[in-house]
Chain A
Amino acid sequence: MKFTGMILAGVLSLFSTVAVSETFTFTAIPDEDESQLRTRFDKVAVYLSEQLGVEVKYIPVKSYSAAVTAFRNNQVQLAWFGGLSGVQARRLVPGSEAIAQGFEDQFFKSYIIAHHSTELAATDSFPVLNDYTFTFGSKDSTSGRLMPQYFIESNVGQSVDKIFKRIGFSGDHSRTISQVEAGVYQVGAVNYKVWDTAVEKGDVDTSKVNVIWQSPTYPDYQWTVHSGVDKTFGAGFKEKLTKTLIGMKDKDLLDSFPRESFVPASNSDYEPIERVAKAIGMLD
């Protein structure tokens, strides 16, 4: 019986609450290379902490929806979101704001890539993709799913499940590339930065798979901050935070995202994303 008591005490202690300290917490998922997340972003936390004068902590998350949930539950007050997840998060937390975006995110784009056996050549006009097999990236990705789906549907004038013979969700940009390279799917949509990096590193055999179309530009990743930070961390905190993010010049830190630099952003920059998400039925 003693043991049962001990287990009970142990389990009960889980329910006790830990004292609240005023720690500013953030999360980020980079669009490429998720290795060594904590090591990389703890450095960003140190930088933010030095500049802001508060304790800053990084929480690693696995998916955009987990990041949105953590943001909504106020477990993180600042998050590096993709275009779509940012819109989702700001709809769930009234008063939250997009304050900065990556330099590249002002004119982000997606590539459509095809396996060589399709004999599709790169074009400026939208290619004919009917009856091929097709893979998106992750379901909630802006550059791997939302925008490609929108561009395809608006160019062809049909819904994607009518256009393609088979549709998959690879779950990741790198996986989209490897699957189209292997011919598992004939055509795929991918984040342009991930593709360019993979080509640069020689991780992809461009005789097997290549870009056949690039999308018009759209806004993507951004920093979104919770509504209540000025109240918790003192007046003017949000402004100071914005300046600190934009003032991040250390290449080592910026490489974690990976972005050239950060520039100011606002909620209205992401209205196109919201419209598109509604148009294809991903938002109500």
Chain B
Amino acid sequence: MSQLYLIVQVNPDKMANTSSTRFFPFIGHWQRITLGLFLLVFVCWFFADTEVIALEPWAELGRMFTGFITPDFGATEYLLDAVWQTISFALLGICLGLLLGLPLALAYQHPLIAAICAFIRAIHEIFWALIFLQVFGLSPLTGILAIGLPYAATFARVFADILQQAPSQTLFTLPKGTDKLSALIYGRWMHMYPQIVAYIRYRFECALRSSAVLGFIGMPTLGFYLESAFRQGHYQQGGALLILFIVLIGTIRFWAKPLMLWVYLPLAVYFLPELPVFQPQLIWRFVSIDILPPMLQGQTLTTWFAVDTFIAVFDWAYELVRDQVWPGIVATLVLACCALGLTHVLTLIMLPLNTTLMMPKPVIILMRGINLILRSLPEYLLAFVFMLLLGPSMLPAIIALALHNSGLMVFLMARQSDDIIVPLTYRPRLDHYSYMVLPVIYPHFMGLLFYRFEVIIRETAILGMLGVMTLGFYVDSNFAEIRFSGALLLLMFTAGLNVLVDYTARKLLQAPRDKLQAC
């Protein structure tokens, strides 16, 4: 009776907010989200294919190990060229991304712009490249656009987020008659300049990885040779290329000084591989034939609306959704959720090992090296090694994604935890760390984790190419069978899924903003 009385008293609005907290008031907001995440991962793990198959991997792993300790730097033809093109594609891609992304950031409040950007971001660089390949052929333009376009969409979102944090008072103190552009630059951007530059620098590292990955489908970057070498078991060559790549990423701050970029940029344009003749009819062919379902190709517009054509198109789409989209989405989500959970746990374990609040300097330096390797190693390579060890289930992909992403998370989080001001009573002990440091960084940690979820979903695409039957696997199959309409339909669903995940993650994280920031 008393319960009923209570419910009647509370107005419905408030009830929605408080009903959940009433039963477990001792569980805080972030604990709730974390437990929710664990529950989700637990359910997904139950459905995931995690069978371990007993194997004899040692012969192959031995060959791999020998390759790494005796790398052969002479085995790759045009090696310096490949290194240079890796940098140059990344640089030009970032430039294009900035050119498009900066104006987009100003209009990001508009829901349509935000949706378009989320859509563009959702498609992996490799698939952008495969699309542009149809239109521009094997041209540097394909690679630069494939990096530039999704990066522009990411810049738009992140810059919009950063700009939101800029104090608006400066705008009112500017002299009368200041033009809008100056007001924007001096009144808002300059407040956030350090964050913006830091973010661009971080994205440049990402662009180098993307640039290398585009080599997998034929751009003349390091990935071109790296993929062939590992696929065909030339581990001495592969080891050398990988070492080179890791060194390239690890030394960015020495060779990519802002001033030097003005030297690199014109050189990058000048030394670009030769552009094939641009054929406008290819674009027309792509939009008027390739992207249409097979039964509409070559048909006149009037026949499209005939009933049997309509039924044929419907059947085609239905079959694709039933046989490829649906199983693809399920596998992608299951894989991504499991990887997300493991990333969460691994990052929490590695974070204390990476902060000066817990560890002495030598350990930190060692961990920095490990992080560098974890985040530079292409996931597909990690997945292949784990596949030899654990068999062809989803497990190798889960571990590979989690290792790579927790490497990145720790890299991004470690600096923040170093800057935390701790009380004088603080000692580098796990209990002190857990009570004084972790709660402060946890909201940011979760924000980053949810952003990584979007990235993980996108990255399952690459593992799809390795045979885990995610959406990426089916997209890749459609491209291999020259069925572009099918590939595009799948990409639409992939993008839609990502937009949905992005939206949900934002909703989840927005909630505490007006309530409590720390846990």
Residues of A at the B interface (CB closer than 8 Å) are 3-4, 6-8, 10-11, 13-18, 20, 32-39, 59-66, 68-70, 73-75, 88, 92, 133, 135, 138-140, 166, 168-172, 174-175, 178-179, 181-185, 203, 205, 208, 282-284
A19 CB, nearest partner CB in chain B, Å: 9
Q: Which of B50-58, B329-337, B398-406 contacts A (4 or more CB under 8 A)?
A: B50-58
B 64-95 to A, binary, CB cutoff 8 A, 1 in contact else 0: 00000000000111100000000000001001
Cα(A20)–Cα(B138), bound, Å? 16
Q: Given A8-B99, A35-B228, A171-B466, does the pair A139, B480 have CB atoms closer than 8 Å?
A: yes
Minimum C-beta distance from A11 to chain B (A): 6
Contacts of A39 in B (CB 8 A): 77
Q: Which residues of B have CB within 8 Å of A62? A: 215-218, 224, 227-228
- What would 16 more interface pairs be, CB under 8 Å, given A62-B215, A73-B279? A7-B265, A8-B99, A13-B269, A34-B232, A60-B218, A65-B480, A66-B133, A138-B480, A172-B231, A175-B231, A183-B54, A183-B56, A185-B392, A203-B233, A208-B56, A284-B294
Binds A, one of B35-43, B106-114, B270-278, B489-497: B270-278
Q: Give residues 252-282 of B contacting A (CB, 8 Å).
A: 262, 265-266, 269, 272, 274-279, 282
> What is the CB-to-nearest-CB distance from B274 to chain A, in angstroms, rounded to a whole number?
6
CA distance A172 to B465 in the complex (A): 12
Count: A-B pairs, CB below 8 Å = 157
Q: Are A10 and B266 interface neighbours, CB within 8 A?
A: yes
Closest to A61 in B: B218
Q: Which residues of B contact A184 (CB under 8 A)?
A: 53, 55, 57, 387-388, 391-392
Give the distance to chain A from B311, nearest Cβ to Cβ, in Å: 17
A271 to chain B, nearest CB (A): 19
State in angstroms the CA–CA spacing of A198 and B144 once bound together. 38
- Whether B138 lies near A75 (C-beta < 8 A) is yes
Residues in B with CB closer than 8 Å to A8 are 99
Q: Is the CB of B278 within 8 A of A38?
A: no
In the complex, are the beta carbons of A7 and B99 less than 8 A apart? yes
Say yes or no for B125: interface residue by CB 8 A criterion: no
Rounded to whole Å, the gap between the CB of A87 and the closest CB of chain B is: 11
Name the residue of chain A whose CB is nearest to the CB of B230: A175
Cβ–Cβ contact A17 & B467, under 8 A: no
Task: Please determine whether B228 and A66 come into contact, CB atoms closer than 8 angstroms.
Answer: no
| Docked pose: A179 CA to B467 CA in angstroms | 13
Query: Which one, B133, B215, B477, contacts A69 given CB within 8 A?
Result: B133
Q: B137 in the interface, Cβ–Cβ < 8 Å?
A: yes
1/0 per position for B138-174, CB-CB distance to A under 8 A?
Answer: 1011001000000000000000000000000000000
The answer to whether B481 touches A15, judged by C-beta atoms less than 8 angstroms apart, is: no
A14 contacts B232, C-beta separation under 8 Å: no
1/0 per position for B434-468, CB-CB distance to A under 8 A?
A: 00000000000000000000000000000001110
Q: Quick one: which of A3, A17, A73, A168 contacts B262, CB cutoff 8 A?
A: A3
Contact A88 B274 (CB under 8 A): no
In angstroms, Cα B269 to Cα A11, docked, is: 8
B229 at the interface (CB under 8 A from A): yes
